[in-house]
């Protein structure tokens, strides 16, 4: 019985892999038996609702919402704080803050962003309240979008993988508990159990993440100030004036850099010129005094 434990572990792993590959086929083969029509004795009365006869699984969809609001520069911070207060009013179990940013640019340009995780059953109504709050602050909704991702198949596959991996871990643990081989065989069996347990934990973490995405919808909110982005007569003029101001500022900055770089050398050159001039003035005097003597 030297290699009994190792052979048993390898057989269990192979059986699990075969079950994982053929799991979908087995489920599809068993489905007709489960959905077979009941016998006359088991059939419900004609007035019974059809929903009780067939169990329908609801799709598991992760929703993501995007909003963009434009308003006056001095009202961006107030509206962002208002949206934060609305999220806090729902409670931490139904609304959470994932990210918040706020920045003031040049002139009258102010922007910010807010990312919230809102309960899926309240997300759409909460989005309407966000837009209403922006309208009340004198702003406007410039963009609004909803995206949906169906995670039903991925979650069902992950749940099946978890059941298979859990059965494998249980079998390997039972074999390891009743081991009768040497130390090397015990080490190999322990490694097999650890590998299966690691794969099981990864599958559970992935399933928990998908469940979180389904339960809490993502809301990305952008705040911006300034003139509308659309065209018009004033838009090119405003953009050209902005370019002129930017170029003027860059030119002035370049002049300051050149002056700062040349100022020390100019001062040194001026001192040298002054010294040379003084030397030339004193030399003729010295020569004339020597000739007079």
Find the mean pLDDT for residues 29-54: 41
Question: Distance between alpha carbon 13 and the CA centroid of its chain, in Å?
Answer: 37
* 29 — pLDDT class (breaks 50, 70, 90): very low
- Cα distances from 284 to residues 9, 273, 279, in angstroms, run 111, 18, 9
Mean pLDDT of 111-138: 93
The tokens of 62 are what?
């992760």
255: left (phi over 0), alpha (psi -120 to 50) or beta: alpha
The predicted structure's pLDDT at residue 215 = 92
Q: What is the DSSP string of 229-277?
A: SS--SHHHHHHHHHHHHHHHHHHHHHHHHHHHHHHHHHHHHHHHHHHHH
Per-residue model confidence as pLDDT tens digits over 159-213: 999 999 899 888 888 877 776 667 777 778 788 888 888 989 999 999 999 999 9
Three-class DSSP category at 179: coil
- For the chain, give the longest Cα–Cα distance: 151
Residue 126 has what pLDDT?
A: 94
Find out whether 99 and 113 touch, Cβ atoms under 8 Å.
yes
Token readout for 260 is 């700062």
Q: How far apart are the first and last CA of the chain?
A: 130
pLDDT at 134: 93
Highest mean pLDDT among 27-31, 52-56, 119-123, 232-236: 119-123
In the predicted structure, residue 120 carries a pLDDT above the cut 70: yes
Instruction: Please report the sign of the dihedral spanned by the C-alpha atoms of residue 75, residue 78, residue 84, residue 89.
Output: negative
Cα–Cα distance for residue pair 62/60, rounded to 1 Å: 7
Interval 55-95: pLDDT, tens: 456 789 999 999 999 998 888 989 999 999 999 999 999 99
Q: Which of 51-55, 64-68, 238-242 has the highest mean pLDDT?
A: 64-68
User: How many whole angstroms from its chain centre is CA 111?
Assistant: 19
pTM higher than 0.85 for the full model? Answer: no
Q: Kindly report the CA angle at 235 between 234 and 238, in degrees rounded to 5? A: 85
Beta-bridge partner residues of 111: 103, 224
């Amino acid at each position: 019985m030297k290699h009994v434990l190792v052979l048993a572990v390898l057989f269990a792993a192979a059986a699990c892999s075969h079950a994982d590959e053929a799991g979908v086929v087995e489920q599809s083969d068993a489905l007709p038996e489960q959905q077979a029509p009941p016998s006359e004795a088991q059939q419900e009365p004609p007035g019974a609702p059809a929903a009780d006869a067939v169990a329908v699984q609801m799709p598991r969809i992760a929703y993501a919402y995007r909003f963009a609001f434009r308003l006056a520069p001095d009202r961006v911070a107030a509206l962002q704080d208002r949206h934060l207060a609305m999220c806090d009013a729902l409670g931490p179990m139904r609304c959470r803050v994932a990210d918040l940013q706020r920045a003031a640019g040049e002139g009258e340009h102010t922007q910010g962003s807010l990312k919230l995780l809102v309960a899926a059953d309240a997300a759409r109504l909460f989005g309407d309240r966000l837009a209403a709050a922006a309208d009340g602050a004198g702003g406007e909704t410039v963009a609004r979008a909803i995206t949906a991702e169906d995670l039903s198949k991925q979650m069902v596959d992950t749940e099946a993988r978890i059941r298979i991996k859990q059965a494998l871990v249980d079998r390997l643990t039972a074999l390891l508990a009743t081991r009768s081989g040497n130390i090397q065989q015990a080490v190999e069996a322990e490694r097999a159990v650890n590998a299966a347990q690691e794969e099981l934990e990864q599958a559970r973490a992935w399933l928990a993440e998908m469940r979180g995405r389904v339960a809490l919808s993502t809301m990305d909110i952008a705040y911006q100030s300034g003139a509308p982005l659309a065209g018009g007569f004033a838009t090119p003029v405003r953009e050209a004036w902005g370019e002129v101001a930017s170029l003027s500022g860059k030119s002035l900055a370049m002049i300051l850099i050149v002056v700062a770089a040349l100022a020390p050398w100019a001062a040194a050159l001026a001192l040298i010129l002054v010294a040379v001039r003084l030397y030339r003035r004193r030399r003729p005097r010295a020569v004339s005094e020597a000739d007079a003597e």
